[in-house]
Amino acid sequence: MFRKILIANRGEIALRILRACRELDIKSVAIFSEADRESPHVQLADEAFCVGPPDVSESYLNLPNIISAALISGADAIHPGYGFLAENPEFVEICKDHNIVFIGPTRETMTLMGDKAMARKTVIAESVPVLPGTDVLEEDREAFSFARQYGFPLIIKAVAGGGGKGMRIVTNEGELRDNLSIARMESHRSFGDDRIYLEKFLPDARHIEFQILADKLGNVIHLGDRDCSVQRRNQKLIEEAPSQVISPYMRRKMGDAAVRAASAIGYHGVGTVEFLFSPDTSRYFFLEMNTRIQVEHPVTEMVTGVDLVREQIKTEMDEPLDINQRQVFIRGHAIECRINAEDPDKNFMPSLGEITRFRLPGGPGIRIDTHIFRGYKVLPYYDSLLAKVISHGKDREEALIRMKRALYEIDIQGIKTTIPFHRQMLNDIQFRQSEIHTRFVENMQESIQ
C-alpha cells in the first residue's frame, strides 16, 4: 500500500489523480509552477512543492526538482498523468534509481510502444492487422518506391511521434518530396528523433481505440471501445463510447486483438490500443498504443463504472484485477467534448487571457472534469485544455440531448473557447447520424470556406 503519491502534472488530470488518492486513503503531493500557485490541485493536496517558473522546461519537466520534491515529501510513488513525463523512459529509470515507484509501464515497454516502427513489428507477430507501411526511411528514394507500389494518399509518421507532430498526409509525389524533410525536422524538434516512416492513409476511416487494463500477474482485459474520429490535425475534439459502427462481433474481434498486443509485451496498468476502422470494408488496422491514462478516459468510466485511475494505482501496488473480461458490461452511451482555449472562427488559434465569467453545467448524466475558475489566467506555457464535459445516457440519443443541454448551460467568458464549435457539431445532421471519420472536421471547415 502506498502511503503517499506525488502527482507530476497539473490541471484537470492532477485533480483527477488527487481524487483517486483520496478515495484510496493515500496522501497526495502536488507540484506546481509559479503560475499555478492558486490552482485547485495545489489547494487540495496534502502537500505541495513549487518546482520552478511557468516555463514547462523549468518546472513540470524539471526532473531534478520533481525528484527532490518526491524525496523530501517521502512519496512512495509518482503518478505522471498524461503528457509531460508520462511517456518518458528516462524518467521511469530515474524513479527506479531513487526507489520511487513510477505509476505506469516499465521503461522497456514504454520504449517499445513509443517506437512506432517497432510497435508495428510487435503486433504483426501477434497477427494484429496493420496498414501497408515502410521500415524507418533511410533514404527518400525508399519513400518514392513505396508510393509507386501502393499509391496515394500516404501518411508520413514520426517513429517517436505523438499528438500529430511529425505527421503529414500527402496525395502526390510533389507533396511527398516537400514534406519528407519537414516531417523529419518537426520530429527532431518535438522528440529529439528525426526518424520517419510511411503508411498507407485511409481518408474515410474511423479512429477506434480500446481501453486496456492489466495487472502484474498477467491478467489483461479490455473495457470496450471509444470512437475518437472527430479530430483536427490528429488532435481529438469529441470522443464517444461505444462506437456506433462496430458490431458486437467486430468489437470482440478488435478487443481480442488489443488484449493480444498488450499481453505480448507483458503490459501492466492502463493503456490504449488504437485502430483505424474502415466501415466500408469492416477491416481494422493497428495504429499505435498509448502507454498511459488518456484524456478521454472518462467516457469509458461512465459506461463501465470502472475507476481507471484508481485501478491504475492499485495495479502498481501488485493487486490483482477486481474484474475479468466476462464481468465487463457496457451500459448506455457516453460523449466527451474537450473545451479548449481556442478560437474556432480563427482556425482554432490559441486564446490567452483571464477568465472573467465561469458557470458550470449540471443535472442528470453530466460530469465535468476541470481545473479552471473565475480569475484563472490562460497562459501560453501550457496545453489549451480547460475542461472536459462528459454526458451519459441510456443510448446515444439521450447522451446527445444531455450534452446539448450542458453546452447551453456552460459559460466561459474573457477568452475564446471551442464551445461554439461543439454546439455546431451537435446540430450537424451527419454528426447526429454518426456519419463521421477522421477528416470530418477538415472537410466541414473547407465546405464553410
Per residue in 73-96, pLDDT (tens digit) is: 999 999 999 999 999 999 999 999
Per-residue model confidence (pLDDT) at position 163: 67
C-alpha atoms less than 13 angstroms from C-alpha of 234 in its C-beta half-sphere: 17
CA 183, 189, 194, 197 dihedral sign is negative
Identify the bridge partners of residue 155 per DSSP, sorted by sequence position. Answer: 169, 199
Q: pTM above the 0.85 mark? A: yes
C-alpha atoms less than 13 angstroms from C-alpha of 126 in its C-beta half-sphere: 20
* Confidence label for 144 from pLDDT (cuts 50, 70 and 90): very high
pLDDT-above-70 percentage for the chain = 99
Q: What single-letter amino acid sits at 11?
A: G
Work out the average pLDDT over 332-345.
97
DSSP 55-112: SGGGTTT-HHHHHHHHHHHT-SEEE--SSTTTT-HHHHHHHHHTT-EESS--HHHHHH
CATH class entry, domain 206-448: alpha beta
Enumerate the domain spans of the chain: 4-103, 132-200, 206-448
Work out the average pLDDT over 340-364.
97
Per-residue model confidence (pLDDT) at position 126: 93
Per-residue model confidence (pLDDT) at position 192: 84
Q: Indicate whether 219 pLDDT > 90.
A: yes
Work out the average pLDDT over 165-185.
92
Per-residue model confidence (pLDDT) at position 449: 53
* C-alpha span between 136 and 117 (Å, rounded): 7
| Same CATH fold assignment for domains 4-103 and 132-200 | no
Per-residue model confidence (pLDDT) at position 447: 66
* Confidence label for 34 from pLDDT (cuts 50, 70 and 90): very high
Neighbour tally for 364: CB within 10 Å: 10
What's the mean per-residue pLDDT of the chain? 95
In the CATH scheme, what is the homologous superfamily, with its name and number, of domain 132-200?
ATP-grasp fold, A domain (3.30.1490.20)
Of the candidates 395, 408, 301, the residue with the CA atom closest to the CA atom of residue 362: 408
Q: Indicate whether 434 pLDDT > 70.
A: yes
Residue with cell 462496430: 246
Q: Are strands 77-79 and 101-102 parallel, antiparallel or unpaired?
A: parallel
Q: Indicate whether 99 pLDDT > 60.
A: yes
Residues 241-274: b if buried by 16+ CB within 10 A, e if exposed: bbbebbeeebbeebbebbbbbbeebebbbbbbbb
Contact predicate 199/137, CB 8 Å: no
The dihedral over CA atoms of 252, 255, 261, 266, expressed in degrees to the nearest 10, equals: -110
Work out the average pLDDT over 319-340.
97
Per-residue model confidence (pLDDT) at position 269: 97
Work out the average pLDDT over 308-320.
97
Per residue in 245-266, pLDDT (tens digit) is: 999 999 999 999 999 999 999 9
* C-alpha span between 41 and 319 (Å, rounded): 27
Question: 5-9, 159-163, 296-300, 323-327: lowest mean pLDDT where?
Answer: 159-163
φ, ψ dihedrals at 388, nearest 5°: -120, 120
Catalytically active residues, by annotation: 292
Per-residue model confidence (pLDDT) at position 165: 77
Q: What single-letter amino acid sits at 224?
A: G
Per-residue model confidence (pLDDT) at position 448: 61
The CATH number of the structural domain formed by 4-103 is 3.40.50.20
* Confidence label for 233 from pLDDT (cuts 50, 70 and 90): confident
Q: Indicate whether 429 pLDDT > 70.
A: yes
